[in-house]
Amino acid sequence: MMWRDSIFILGDQLFTGHRLLADAIPAECVVVLIESADRMRARRYHKQKVALVLSAMRHYAEALRAAGWTVDYREADSFTEGLQAHIEDFQPQRLLMLEAAEWQARQSQRLLSQKLNLEVVLSRNTHFLCEQYLPEETPGKKLILENFYRAMRRQFGVLLENDGSPAGGAWNFDPENRKPYKGKPVPRPPIRFAPDAITQAAIEKVERECPNNLGNTKDFSFAVTREQALQTLDDFITNRLPDFGAYEDAMSAREPILFHSVLSPLLNIGLLEPLEVVRRAEAAYRAGHAPLNSVEGFIRQILGWREYVYWRYHQMMPGFHDRNHWQAERPLPEFFWTGETDMNCLRQVITRVLETGYSHHIERLMALCNFALLAGIQPRAVNEWFLESYVDAYDWVVTPNVIGMGLCADGGIVGTKPYIASAAYLNKMSDYCVGCKYNPKQRTGDAACPFNALYWNFLLRFEKQLRANPRMGPNVLGLKYLDENERRRVQQQAKEFLEKL
């Protein structure tokens, strides 16, 4: 039989309302999904991530079959090889695809027609909301996140009053979302799912074919179906969203998740849609279940930041990976691969990531990236570590978050300032300093926390550049409290620490 169309669905496009399926006739089309060995081994991806994608793809294929679709599910050395075998077997007249989220994959898609000797039709990936609507840039003026976010809320009618003003009279409630976690209320951990036979088979493949990848799969419990993803969303909305806002920036050695959603792994492969997540959170506010500061803070992460970094990423590619505004060239320290460091905050966060493939966004920004920026670690190396280590890691989201916001290696395009802090911030917002061998209140000396010397050394080294940034004024002006002797001591302390890295 010759099929009219083949619909090729990538492993991060597992949408229930997939637009290509919505426009197709099942009797005339075949859906193809491919497990590519080349893609699976492109990096030492965390085993939990690979298991999640493989299991979700296999469950997705089964759901399509149950809905009446003909599905060709293949394991191949590469996507191209799998497609060539598929075309030989099914003889489609066209190959239909959504544009890939990642830039390099999108470039490969544009070469497929020539490689396959077949018409390839690419459609816009409107499951990213900014592919449906993109706020206008003012000529000569940078479109910053806050303006982008407000425009997106207006466009999609989110958290607005009847007159179009923002709910609660403000667009942003971030000042209310900076409480350190003191142990109350006790967060309820995310819902877990025991691996079924399909998931177990995916896990076995990962352990067999990716033995040297990061982490392990022994405690795998992610949602792998649409139904489980919705249960995960319900669990967050019910049990953790009400307290999410207040403790959004908190960090804890005792509570790795706190009140975060852990929905990003599911959003990033399509088991959840961004707008449905936003609507559910807004409904919780309207029903009086969750306060506005929590709901607005959560919605800003998705409708604002997630969409913004996706847009910025494609705007800045290619070449984004090579940005290095601060000329940082130090290799990534070995302890990023082992967690073996005397700095308790880094040991806790890195060990957690290596074991589970997850830490929440403030730990990524203010512990890991903060340290890497202050220590002058090569941005591309840090970016690669994030891409390998996290379950929710994809180039479109990692690169703007790490090279852009986290390291400010793009010179302040994604963000508007370098996000740097001394040990005082970590001591305020976490319990990591308790029991650490270093004293967060000392700048110099054997017991001084390295974050302090690194922070002040960074300000001294880049004082002129930082003074030019209006958002960095107070930080740089703080240098006036350091006399020449203290400046020399700070610089020597930082030098000795960095030499040991």
- Pair 77, 156 in one domain: no
Element at 299 (helix H, strand E): helix 292-299
Domain boundary pick from 294, 316, 338: 316
- pLDDT, tens digit (0-9, with 9 covering 90-100), for 426-435: 999 999 999 8
pLDDT digits (tens, 9 = 90+) for 332-348: 999 999 999 999 999 99
pLDDT greater at residue 138 or residue 149: 149
Question: Where in the sequence is the domain holding 280, given as residue range(s)?
Answer: 131-190+240-316
The answer to whether 392 and 439 are in contact (CB under 8 A) is no
**Residues 19, 139: one domain?**
no
Orientation angle between helical segments 450-461 and 484-500, nearest 10 degrees = 110
The model's pLDDT over 15-34, given as tens digits with 9 standing for 90+, comes to 998 999 998 999 999 999 99
Q: Are residues 11 and 158 in the same domain?
A: no
Q: What is the pLDDT of residue 193?
A: 98
Rg (CA), the chain: 24
The continuous run of DSSP H or E covering 264 comes out as helix 264-267
β 70-76/119-123 pair status: unpaired
On whether both 81 and 182 belong to a single domain, the answer is: no
pLDDT at 1 over 80: no
Q: What is the CATH number of the domain that holds 245?
A: 1.25.40.80
Question: Residue 140 has what pLDDT?
Answer: 80
Spatial separation of the C-alpha atoms in residues 33 and 53, rounded to whole Å: 12
**Is position 231 within any domain?**
no
* Residue 208 forms part of a structural domain: no
Tokens of 174: 């971030």
Q: Rounded mean pLDDT of the chain? A: 96
Mean pLDDT of 386-391: 98
pTM, full prediction: 0.97
Task: Let me know whether 309 and 330 are in one domain.
Answer: no
- State whether 135 and 122 are in the same domain: no
Shared domain check, 440 and 336: yes
Q: Is the same domain home to 257 and 375?
A: no
pLDDT reported for residue 142: 86
Q: Which residues pair with 94 in a beta bridge?
A: 5, 119
Reference 271, options 59, 1, 36, 427; nearest CA is 59
Residue 257 lies in a domain: yes
User: How many C-beta atoms surround the C-beta of residue 446 within 10 A?
Assistant: 9
CATH assignment of the domain containing 436: 1.10.579.10
Q: Name the domain boundary from 126, 156, 181.
A: 126
The DSSP letter of residue 305 is I
Instruction: Domain count for the chain, please give it.
Output: 3
Look at residues 287, 316, 345 and tell me which one is the last residue of a structural domain: 316
What secondary structure, in 3-state letters, does 51-83 show?
HHHHHHHHHHHHHHHHCCCEEEEEEECCHHHHH
CB-facing half-sphere around the CA of 356: CA atoms within 13 A: 15
> Does 209 map to a domain?
no
Model confidence at 324: pLDDT above 80? yes
In a domain, 223, yes or no: no
User: Do 406 and 352 sit in the same domain of this protein?
Assistant: yes
What token pair was written down for 422?
Answer: 């001394």
